[in-house]
A and B are shown apart, each in its own frame.
Chain A
Amino acid sequence: MSVTEMFSYIQGFLSADHDVREDIRKVVQVLEQTAREILTLLQSVHQPSGFKEIPSKCAKARELFCTVQTQMADLKTKFPVEQYYRFHEHWRFVLQRLAFLAAFVVYLESETLVTREEVAQILGIEVVREKGFHLDIEDYLAGVLIMASELSRLAVNSVTAGDYNRPLRISNFINELDSGFRLLNLKNDPLRKRYDGLKYDVKKIEEVVYDLSIRGLAKEPEAGGDK
């Protein structure tokens, strides 16, 4: 094989790779649009009027997740399944977003931490890499951390809206989450940096709880935690 032939072959390979990435980008753009719609929908719970409407917003969000599932199914067709990590960077951001949104919906519904399996089910993907397009564990954890920030904001806005009990429940939840994250041995990577932000969320929520307790505004949370 001559030099020219070799480079021709490589160029063919690069060209094909380029095409696959273009296809993936298009689907990811669509996914991002849907993610933005779900986000806009759920953001409205921060408004005083939004609190009463939480159940209906969650239901609507779940409908939008069905759209996500269809789009995910489309994404899966764009590349060979065993090359997930070759193209992972393209959808990492949107998948983290979607994991956050799923976690947020589940929290609003049941005030529990969504499991990896539940997120995967909501998005229509797998948990285990060998079974197909899966949710990378670090993307799941990043989504959970994004939710923690959202909850610290929710704690503040609950008080403004007159709900003085929710912050205490959020506080217990976040502290449990923090204990969980402390178990992890993280490398100096983006996940670690994101985790570093969790302590500010914890602090913010603690301050809210403090403000309520010294003014006698908050009742003691029920024994047994936040379930």
Chain B
Amino acid sequence: MSNREGEGCPKKICDAAQANLSLPVIAAFKVFQQELDTKHDKYEHLVKISRDITIESKRSIFLLHRVTSLPDAEDALNEADVKLDGVRQKIGQIAEELRGEDIYQFHRAFTPGIQEYVEAVSFLHYIRHRSLISLEEINAKLVFMRTEKVDVKGSAEAQPHAAQVLTFQVMPSDYLLGVADLTGELMRMCISSVGNGDIDTPFQLSQFLRQIHDGFSYIGNTGPYEVSKKLYTLRQSLGKVEDACYALRVRGSEIPKHMLADVFSSRTTLIDPDEGLV
């Protein structure tokens, strides 16, 4: 088929078209190519930053889990602060990249990192304050100062600098998903605190987790669909924590402290996986 000879052979026209870049269609597509390349480059750059954010946030979370077993908790907390400051700088880079853009166009690129950051920063907040960090508090820390050179034409002097404020606003949906992931970490914190002989934390956590779970139940299906998926895991986490409290209450005085953690990990949860949302 491709060896066809004939008048008006399309393949000849095709080659001629490729050679003749001034054809309007070809010229138009060259513009499209540049536009698409620019957009893809920006998207990929944001994906990279998001990955860095995810890694550093996860490391902060691991660090925070070690807090309960460390003699000097305050040091570890400060170290986590520093780490998360680094993450915030990265979020500043995202804000730079998104300047003048529609942030929703690139949301899928950076949402994983942002969710992980919310998880980390809310975990730190809980350890310090025993409360849930609000979206406002999170966003308040995501304000960045940039100095921009102001181009003063015809001036022979040094260019003046103008301060510019750049913000990044975490979306409610990302906040919600980050908090959903937080509950998994809180469950782990509960189990490990019992292993350390701390029998107060599980009861505090149980109450806190229940509030969060109730909040998610209230939202139900109206949130992003990923929330519904995470709700199942959340119920399991809550179940484990509630079982821990039960065991502590009923049998806590009987069991040596170093065996308490074993008791909880072997208990099976009684949550029915098919139980859907109310």
Interface positions of A (Cβ within 8 A of B): 1-4, 6-11, 13-15, 18, 82-86, 88, 113, 115-116, 129, 137-138, 141, 168, 171-172, 175-181, 183-187, 205-207, 209-210, 213-214, 218, 220-221, 225
Closest 5 A-B residue pairs measured CB to CB?
A7-B215, A180-B29, A85-B104, A85-B105, A3-B211
Q: Are B102 and A129 in contact, with the CB atoms below 8 A?
A: yes
Q: Are A183 and B10 in contact, with the CB atoms below 8 A?
A: no
A166 → chain B closest CB, angstroms = 13
User: Knowing A171-B10, A178-B14 touch, does A137 contact B32 (C-beta < 8 A)?
Assistant: yes
B71 within 8 A of A: no
Q: Are B218 and A11 in contact, with the CB atoms below 8 A?
A: yes
Pick from A3, A15, A138: contact of B208, CB below 8 A.
Answer: A3
How many residues of B sit at the interface, in one of the four size bands? 35 or more
Scoring A10, A83, A187, A207 by chain B CB atoms within 10 A of each residue's CB, the highest score goes to A10
Pick from A141, A172, A213: contact of B7, CB below 8 A.
Answer: A213
Q: How far is the CA of A129 from the CA of B222 in the complex (A)?
A: 29
B37 within 8 A of A: yes
B1 → chain A closest CB, angstroms = 7
B115 → chain A closest CB, angstroms = 14
B162 within 8 A of A: no
Q: Are A218 and B8 in contact, with the CB atoms below 8 A?
A: yes
Q: Are B35 and A6 in contact, with the CB atoms below 8 A?
A: no
Q: Are B35 and A137 in contact, with the CB atoms below 8 A?
A: yes
Q: Are B219 and A179 in contact, with the CB atoms below 8 A?
A: no
Q: Are A172 and B13 in contact, with the CB atoms below 8 A?
A: yes
Q: Report B-chain residues with C-beta under 8 Å of the C-beta of A177.
A: 25
B199 within 8 A of A: no
Closest B residue by C-beta to A226: B13
Known contacts A172-B8, A180-B29, A205-B10; 10 additional CB pairs below 8 A are A1-B134, A3-B208, A4-B211, A6-B215, A9-B135, A84-B102, A86-B102, A186-B36, A213-B8, A220-B8
Compute the total of residue contacts between A and B using a CB distance below 8 Å: 134
Q: Are B33 and A185 in contact, with the CB atoms below 8 A?
A: yes
Q: Are A209 and B10 in contact, with the CB atoms below 8 A?
A: yes
In B93-109, the 8 Å CB interface with A consists of: 102, 104-105, 107
Q: Are B102 and A179 in contact, with the CB atoms below 8 A?
A: no
Q: Are B212 and A141 in contact, with the CB atoms below 8 A?
A: no
Q: Report B-chain residues with C-beta under 8 Å of the C-beta of A175.
A: 10-11, 13-14, 17
Q: Report B-chain residues with C-beta under 8 Å of the C-beta of A187.
A: 40
Interface positions of B (Cβ within 8 A of A): 1, 4, 6-8, 10-11, 13-14, 17-18, 23-26, 28-30, 32-33, 35-37, 40, 102, 104-105, 107, 131-132, 134-136, 172, 175-176, 208, 211-212, 214-216, 218-219, 222-223
Q: Report B-chain residues with C-beta under 8 Å of the C-beta of A180.
A: 25-26, 28-29, 32
B181 → chain A closest CB, angstroms = 15
Q: Are A113 and B25 in contact, with the CB atoms below 8 A?
A: yes
Q: Are A11 and B222 in contact, with the CB atoms below 8 A?
A: yes
10 A-B pairs in the complex with CB atoms less than 8 angstroms apart = A6-B132, A9-B135, A11-B222, A14-B172, A179-B14, A179-B25, A179-B26, A183-B29, A185-B40, A213-B4
Q: Report A-chain residues with C-beta under 8 Å of the C-beta of B14.
A: 175-176, 178-179
Q: How far is the CA of A161 from the CA of B97 in the complex (A)?
A: 55
Q: How far is the CA of A180 from the CA of B17 in the complex (A)?
A: 9
Q: Are A14 and B219 in contact, with the CB atoms below 8 A?
A: yes
Q: Are B1 and A185 in contact, with the CB atoms below 8 A?
A: no
Closest A residue by C-beta to B14: A175
Q: Are B23 and A176 in contact, with the CB atoms below 8 A?
A: yes
Q: Report A-chain residues with C-beta under 8 Å of the C-beta of B215.
A: 3-4, 6-7, 10
User: Knowing A115-B28, A206-B1 touch, does A183 contact B8 (C-beta < 8 A)?
Assistant: no
Q: Are B33 and A183 in contact, with the CB atoms below 8 A?
A: yes
Q: How far is the CA of A76 from the CA of B222 in the complex (A)?
A: 24
Closest A residue by C-beta to B2: A206
Q: Are A10 and B37 in contact, with the CB atoms below 8 A?
A: no
Closest A residue by C-beta to B26: A180
A164 → chain B closest CB, angstroms = 12
A152 → chain B closest CB, angstroms = 13
Q: How far is the CA of A178 from the CA of B13 in the complex (A)?
A: 11
B215 → chain A closest CB, angstroms = 3
User: Knowing A7-B218, A177-B25, A218-B8 touch, does A225 contact B13 (C-beta < 8 A)?
Assistant: yes
Q: How far is the CA of A9 from the CA of B179 in the complex (A)?
A: 14
Q: Are B32 and A141 in contact, with the CB atoms below 8 A?
A: yes
Q: Are A137 and B18 in contact, with the CB atoms below 8 A?
A: no
A176 → chain B closest CB, angstroms = 5
Q: Are B172 and A13 in contact, with the CB atoms below 8 A?
A: yes
B16 → chain A closest CB, angstroms = 9
Q: Report B-chain residues with C-beta under 8 Å of the C-beta of A1.
A: 132, 134, 136
